Amino acid sequence: MTEKSNSSKKDKPLTIFITGGSSGIGYQACLNLISLGHNIILPCKNIVRANEVLTNIFNELPAELSKKGELYTPIMDLCDLKSIDLLCSDVKKKHLKIDVLILNAGLQYTGSKVPRRSAQGIELTFAVNHLAHFYLTKKILPFLTKSEDPKIIITSSEVHNPNSAGGKVGAKASLGNLKGLENGAGFEMIDGNKFNADKAYKDSKLCNILFAKKLSIYLDKKKLLIPVIAWAPGLVISRDNQGFFRYSRKYNQLGQILFAFLARDILRITTSNIEAGLILTNLVCLCKYKKPGFNYYSNKVISSGNFIFEKTDISNDAQREDLSDNLWELSKSLINKILR
Sign for the CA dihedral angle at 189, 191, 196, 197 comes to negative
Range 55-76 average pLDDT: 89
Residue 68: the pLDDT is: 87
Q: Please, which pLDDT band fits residue 165 given cuts at 50, 70 and 90?
A: confident
Sheet holding 39-41, edge to edge: 71-72, 39-41, 15-19, 100-103, 151-155, 227-232, 293-303, 306-311
Range 51-80 average pLDDT: 91
Residue 244: the pLDDT is: 47
Q: What is the pTM (predicted TM-score) of this model?
A: 0.91
Domain 15-339: which CATH class? Answer: alpha beta
Q: Please, which pLDDT band fits residue 9 given cuts at 50, 70 and 90?
A: very low
Give me the torsion for CA of 285, 286, 291, 292, rounded to 10°: -10
